[in-house]
Structure 1
Amino acid sequence: MATEPTTDAEPGGAGAGTGEAPRSRAGGAFTIIIAIADIVVPIALYYVFRAFGFPELDSLLISSVAPIVSFVAQGLVMRRLDGFAIFIGAVLALNIAVALTSADPRTLLARDGWITGLAGLFFLATLWAKRPFVFSIVRPLGEGRLGPPGEDWDSVWDRFALFRRVWRVLTVIWGVGLVVDAVIRLVFAYTLPVDIVPASNGIQYVIVYALLQVMSQVYFKRSGLLQLPGFSFTRRKTL
């Protein structure tokens, strides 16, 4: 996800001269590639194997391997495990258990809904943590560009109630949005023809992500955060 402060770093901003900014940009690009692979590759695998005459269940089992491979690849490249990565790993482990024990293709199709729903609940649960999850996602790219110049986000968090509210509201937007998305996926998994569901899931990911992005951007711009005393937002200069 990306709100207004998640653009690339301004030269001389946070991490300048330390290698932090290039790593963030590389990591962000890799994450986008992984996200695309997690959506496109499983769908492609399913329809390729169906075209070769494989049963629905076997095609779904084969396509379910792709997210596991991408998760391992991401761990090897990024060489770090944060709380959300551990959460995703646990969900994938649950997926493996379901895949190995299920004889019903609709149970496998419903996994996308359960994963999305659990992710949404995870977002909402972090409202009671020290920092909401959207704050943690945006901070590596936004700190040093959004807020009083030279002030770290821990200090900004302590000083400005509106700053705290913005990240909590954004976390609610994404958490509730993902839960609603999950309900729709579960309904589709058990009502649509099996061969339609993988493609509809992929299309739904794009639509829901776009809607949540627009809602986040509109809220952020109307929140009044940039009107706080001393606040500024520095964009990266384009070449």
Structure 2
Amino acid sequence: MSSPVNKTGSSQLGRSGVLRKVLPLLLADVVLPVVVYFALHLQGQSDMIALSGAGATSLVRLVVSAVRNRRIDGLAAFVFLLFVAGLVASLLVGDPRLVIVKDSAFSAAIGVGFLGSLLIGRPVMYFVSRWFISGGDPVRWDALWQRSPSLRKKVRTMTAACAVLFFAEAIVRVPVVYSMNLSVSQAEGASKFVTLGLIVALGVVGRTLGRGIRKDIKEFGQQAHG
């Protein structure tokens, strides 16, 4: 019986699958808010209204996801609640930059989730790798996970590395927004560049450590058919 995990076509399918899933999120969470913000700003709206409009895109995503999937997307709901919390805090304090900095809370929460998964059950990247790297053979992936200490170590390392990146992004955003003498509009744009930096860094980590995981999968397949 042939092993799908060793075929180039499966690898290419996995990469295209990643792009199909990541690109819409990148457009919805990074590009669209920036476009809405500057569009409102060009119309002469205040920073608070422009930031509110940009953040409201998370509500649109929540509604679209709920209609399409007939259920509430927990991640989209969490993003929207963070936006509402940041907006309320900004109105109470009178500081629109809090709406921008609230993204750090989201990143930090994800980092906590990644680290927590290392302590409870299987790490987050186990499920991500199972979906994207297994080459369409999750059963073989589960078998390899049980038998290969090397694979388990690499997946846990990838999970820890991603957690560090999320924490770093959360920390870096605060001085970028508050300590660089940027206007609110400039701070909004800079914040999105920080997010893009995180995405690039996650891609580098995934590609670098993913090579070792794919190598383990290939060797496991060869042993199974040797």
Question: Is TM more than 0.5 here?
Answer: yes
Aligned residues, how many?
Answer: 211
Corresponding residue for 1:206? 196
CA distance in 2 between partners of 1:228 and 1:34 (Å) = 28
Give ranges in structure 2 of 5+ residues lacking alignment.
none
CA distance in 2 between partners of 1:79 and 1:25 (Å) = 26
Q: Which has the higher helix share?
A: 2
Matches within 5 A, 1:47-196: 47-78=38-69, 86-103=74-91, 104-144=95-135, 151-191=139-179, 192-196=182-186
Distance 1:137 1:107, change over 3 A: same
Distance 1:54 1:228, change over 3 A: closer
Give ranges in structure 1 of 5+ residues lacking alignment.
12-20, 234-239
**2:147 is aligned with what amino acid?**
R
- How far did 1:59 drift? 0.9
CA distance in 1 between partners of 2:8 and 2:69 (Å) = 19
**1:173 is aligned with what amino acid?**
A
TM-score, with length taken from structure 2: 0.78
Q: Deviations over 1:60-89 (max 9, x none)?
A: 1111100221133234435567xxx52552
CA distance in 2 between partners of 1:31 and 1:109 (Å) = 22
CA distance in 2 between partners of 1:190 and 1:201 (Å) = 11
Matches within 5 A, 1:209-224: 209-221=199-211, 223=212
Work out whether residues 8 and 141 of structure 1, in 8 Å CA contact, stay in contact via their aligned partners in 2.
no
Structure with more contact order per residue of length (Cα contacts < 8 Å, sep ≥ 6):
1
CA distance in 2 between partners of 1:33 and 1:189 (Å) = 26
**1:133 is aligned with what amino acid?**
V
Q: State the percentage of identical aligned residues.
A: 20
Work out whether residues 27 and 78 of structure 1, in 8 Å CA contact, stay in contact via their aligned partners in 2.
no
Distance 1:211 1:174, change over 3 A: same
Distance 1:80 1:132, change over 3 A: farther
**1:215 is aligned with what amino acid?**
V
Work out whether residues 41 and 50 of structure 2, in 8 Å CA contact, stay in contact via their aligned partners in 1.
yes
TM-score, with length taken from structure 1: 0.74
